[in-house]
Amino acid sequence: MKKYFIFLSILAISFLAGVHYPVYAAVNENFDSYTNGALNGQGGWSGSINYTIQGSITQGGSAKAVKGSSEGEIDKDFSSPQTDGNQIFYFNASGTNGSDGTEIQDANNWDVIARIVFNGGNIRLGDWNTGTILGTYTVSNWYKVEAQWRISDGYVKARINDGTWSSWQAPVDTGWESATNIGLLFNGTNPTGGVFWDSLSEPSSPPPNFSYSFFSTSNPPPATGSSSDLTAATGNLFTGEWYLIAAIIAIPLAFYVIQRIQWWMPKDKK
């Protein structure tokens, strides 16, 4: 009995080792430790020299932020490629005449997965001029933006200032395989006073619509975007394959406990 218990316990641990949990390793960055001047070459950022570190206009008490002063792009890789994930950033524009964007990209395939555009007073998800309008913006104000992507159908969604999520929609480029980096860029004339990014982060908890599965780096989440998605996703921890793990551990353990109880019970005298 003891050998049986040990064997099944090892088997259960092996199953647990095979479970893949989603990783939420988006870029976490407040730029405070950077040196004023060109962002290119600092902290893994690479690209245009038109992006600089400065401390005059920052978000929420941050000491420094990035300023974009003319057309170009600068990127930073995630710590690992992401098939499902979230990215939060804050954005501030000194005018509405620019077409400024933040992109989640699959650099391995030259695909844009999600693009958030500040253009002509509108905040859009998708195309520079015709993407889904998430809301409006006014000059010299900070806006919190959160984008989310999933590999099950390649779709993306976004929201601003912790408001209502947009519906899931097709990515800018279909066929992407994993999100690898974030890009700061603009397409066209930049506002005279520049545009600013700050406080890039990942959510403190798994984003809505995530679930867990054996031997898979992703599991198709529900396409609702409702506030109950996170509850539904975490509920998967106690369904399906997890019942199997519980049974593998609980059944031999129960037999072992019963055996111990029987051993301690007084024996009938004959």
- Reported as a pLDDT band with limits 50, 70 and 90, residue 162 is very high
**pLDDT for residue 23:** 45
Contacts of 50 (CB under 8 A, 6+ apart): 68, 69, 70, 71, 72
- Reported as a pLDDT band with limits 50, 70 and 90, residue 2 is low
**pLDDT for residue 82:** 92
**pLDDT for residue 19:** 43
pLDDT in tens, 166-198: 999 999 999 999 999 999 997 766 677 899 999
Tell me how crowded residue 114 is: count the other CB atoms within 10 A of its CB. 24
* Helix ranges (DSSP H) in 171-240: 229-235
**pLDDT for residue 226:** 31
Of 120, 102, 122, 104, residue with least CA distance to 112? 104
pLDDT over 50 at 205, yes or no: no
Of 139, 65, 56, residue with least CA distance to 97? 139
**pLDDT for residue 187:** 72
* Per-domain residue ranges of the chain: 2-18+235-264, 23-205
Can you tell me the distance from the alpha carbon of 126 to that of 115, in angstroms, rounded to the nearest whole number? 5
User: Among 3.90.230.10, 3.40.920.10, 2.60.120.200, 3.40.718.10, what is the CATH number of 23-205?
Assistant: 2.60.120.200
pTM of this structure: 0.71
**pLDDT for residue 155:** 97
Can you tell me the distance from the alpha carbon of 76 to that of 27, in angstroms, rounded to the nearest whole number? 8
- Could you tell me which residue, 204 or 50, shows the higher pLDDT? 50
**pLDDT for residue 235:** 37
pLDDT in tens, 50-102: 999 999 999 988 999 999 988 899 999 999 999 999 999 999 999 888 789 99
pLDDT over 70 at 165, yes or no: yes
pLDDT in tens, 234-265: 333 433 444 455 656 767 776 666 766 766 66
Across-strand partners of 53?
37, 66
Owner of token pair 């519906």: 167
**pLDDT for residue 233:** 37
- Using the Cα atoms of residue 164, residue 26, residue 126 and residue 84 in order, give the sign of their dihedral: negative
- Asked if 45 and 183 touch (Cβ cutoff 8 Å), the reply is no
pLDDT over 70 at 266, yes or no: no
**pLDDT for residue 59:** 95
Contacts of 14 (CB under 8 A, 6+ apart): none
**pLDDT for residue 231:** 33
**pLDDT for residue 260:** 66
In the numeric block, which tokens belong to residue 72? 């170009």
pLDDT in tens, 129-148: 999 999 999 999 999 999 99
